[in-house]
Chain A
């Protein structure tokens, strides 16, 4: 198995439809990594910082993060990850409907690796996810805790 196969994709997305569409398009792009889906920030954070099977212990992860979550802003999660010694190298892809320049700037300031706006046009959306899948298939993710 190549190293990229071991990367767990952690998707924090409160909209079930969006999550389903993302998953489908990732599969179509040939991405077969394990996907952990969370619909709220609290349980996602619990998983991320849980030493038993979370990325802090069990291996590298890649985060797909929506900013509009019911219990907190995705920006808080981003700040927590980038501020954590064990997780700050984890690639974070912000995938959200918000296209406000200030939000985008803030995410990059906090250390987001990629910021993608969800296009309403489905073809564009599917394209974006597939390209993300291609991207995911080639990037190297640092080892957890390294």
Chain B
């Protein structure tokens, strides 16, 4: 197919692509939002879990603290009881081992009592109790020391009577009561803290469960959305595929239509030019008859002039000698011109109908050959023609030769006599196309005529060269037929560059 189908397909496909694009963007947004929410939920869950863990650790620490306090209280109780038992044993038996036992218990108490005070320092009331306990223990030890000192000095009776009357038994009871109270307080505290810990744990579990549920829900929603998205993608892919297939059909149909229209125009041009020729034969024929009829008339006028000169008016003389030949001359010139134009149309139509023979063309050689036919006029003009290394293409040889010889011939024809002619043919590959440039340093073409020179029977510049304005129209028709395009780069008096873009490989159905 030689003609280009106007690519109107973009207009057809655009709305579909746009709407599905919006859908895809919307779904993309939903997925992003869902994943963001899921991540936030996970982060929140993690943060909560860490907080809960820390709270749990703190609570465990508190519980351990409470248990330490309880143990200490118990230990203090034991030491107090032991010291009291040791004093009493010492009072009765005066055995130094009791005295040692008492000393040990007192040393331990000296260590444990401050520790207890330090441990319960965070609780004002327990601290008060601890101080009271310490004071009472200290009182008791004071009494113990006095009674044991009395025994050491041998005042046994005095010591024993003092024991019966001293406050040690009361103090001991008070100490026991206070110790129990403290232990009780700590036990209650422990219970409370345990309950708190369990509550925190439970709420952490609840939060974690909620987060897990949320994540599950988001995963489910994401899967759902992705499945819908995938289905939509598949649908749009299918519709795109359908559209593409249709498009091929549409393009094929258009190309066929175009081909038909082209054929129709070619046929039309052919018929019209033939039918125009027919009357032209008559015009020319009878003009010749008229001309040959003039000869006897002229003879008659000459004869009459001799025999009866007064019969010949100046009008008659003028008609025979000037008007008739002039009319015939103009009719002839016009008919000949008309014949040339009709022949040009015929030639174009015939070229359009010629079957293309596609082959690989060594372009440098093809162009050289086309240029060789014009070497003579180029040499005569003292000019030069340079053909660079050109990319090879696969196309129709005759058409390519026509294009290049026409363009080179134009360059020769429209050279600027004041400077030596120089024509350069160059070429390069651009993607799937070959670009050829035919540049000359001739008289150039006014930019306002750049379109016009490609029209049939239209010319530009000084009309000092023979021609009907067919060459470039012909070139353009041939270039189009080869699936190419031609453009012109030129200014008046500044040479002209014709740029051809041709497919590297011409496909003909």
Interface residues of chain A, those whose CB is within 8 Å of chain B, are: 15, 17-18, 21, 24, 68, 97-98, 100, 118-123, 125-126
Against A, the Cβ 8 Å flags (1 = close, 0 = not) of B1-43 are 0000000000000000000000000000000000000000000
* Contacts known (A17-B286, A21-B286, A126-B288); A120 close to B281, Cβ less than 8 A: yes
- The winner among B279, B285, B286, B289 for most chain A CB atoms within 10 A is B285
Query: Which of B86-94, B270-278, B356-364 is the interface stretch?
Result: B270-278
Of A15, A24, A97, A122, the contact of B284 (CB 8 Å cutoff): A122
Q: Are B278 and A122 in contact (CB under 8 A)?
A: no
Interface residues of B toward A: which range? 10 to 19
Q: Are B274 and A18 in contact (CB under 8 A)?
A: no
Q: Are A68 and B278 in contact (CB under 8 A)?
A: yes
Q: Are B277 and A120 in contact (CB under 8 A)?
A: yes
Q: Are A97 and B274 in contact (CB under 8 A)?
A: yes
A100-B277 Cα distance, complex, nearest whole Å: 13
Interface residues of chain B, those whose CB is within 8 Å of chain A, are: 270, 274-275, 277-282, 284-289, 335-336, 339, 350
Q: Are B282 and A17 in contact (CB under 8 A)?
A: yes
**Residues of A close to B270: CB separation below 8 A:** 100
* Contacts known (A97-B274, A98-B274, A100-B270); A120 close to B280, Cβ less than 8 A: yes
A21-B336 Cα distance, complex, nearest whole Å: 18
Of B274, B277, B285, the contact of A122 (CB 8 Å cutoff): B285
Q: Which 3 A-B pairs have the closest CB atoms?
A: A17-B282, A122-B288, A122-B284
Across the two chains, which residue of chain B brings its CB closest to A21? B285
**Residues of B close to A121: CB separation below 8 A:** 284, 336, 339
Of A17, A97, A123, the contact of B277 (CB 8 Å cutoff): A97
Q: Are B281 and A97 in contact (CB under 8 A)?
A: yes
Q: Are B284 and A120 in contact (CB under 8 A)?
A: yes
Q: What would 15 A/B residue contacts be, using CB atoms closer than 8 Å? A: A15-B279, A17-B279, A17-B285, A17-B286, A18-B281, A18-B282, A21-B282, A21-B285, A97-B281, A118-B281, A120-B281, A120-B339, A121-B284, A122-B285, A125-B285
**Residues of B close to A126: CB separation below 8 A:** 285, 288
Q: Are B288 and A17 in contact (CB under 8 A)?
A: no
- The winner among A18, A98, A120, A126 for most chain B CB atoms within 10 A is A120
Q: Are B274 and A68 in contact (CB under 8 A)?
A: yes
Of A18, A100, A119, A125, the contact of B278 (CB 8 Å cutoff): A18
CB distance from B271 to the nearest CB of A (A): 9
**Residues of A close to B287: CB separation below 8 A:** 122
CB distance from B288 to the nearest CB of A (A): 4
CB distance from A13 to the nearest CB of B (A): 10
Q: Are A125 and B274 in contact (CB under 8 A)?
A: no
Q: Are A120 and B288 in contact (CB under 8 A)?
A: no
**Residues of B close to A123: CB separation below 8 A:** 288
- The winner among A97, A98, A118, A119 for most chain B CB atoms within 10 A is A97
**Residues of B close to A97: CB separation below 8 A:** 274, 277-278, 281
Q: Are A17 and B281 in contact (CB under 8 A)?
A: yes
A97-B286 Cα distance, complex, nearest whole Å: 17
**Residues of A close to B279: CB separation below 8 A:** 15, 17
Q: A100-B350, A119-B281 are in contact. List 16 more A-B contacts (CB 8 A).
A: A15-B278, A15-B279, A15-B282, A17-B286, A21-B285, A24-B289, A68-B274, A97-B277, A118-B277, A120-B280, A121-B284, A121-B339, A125-B281, A125-B285, A126-B285, A126-B288
A52-B284 Cα distance, complex, nearest whole Å: 39
A13-B426 Cα distance, complex, nearest whole Å: 55
**Residues of A close to B336: CB separation below 8 A:** 121
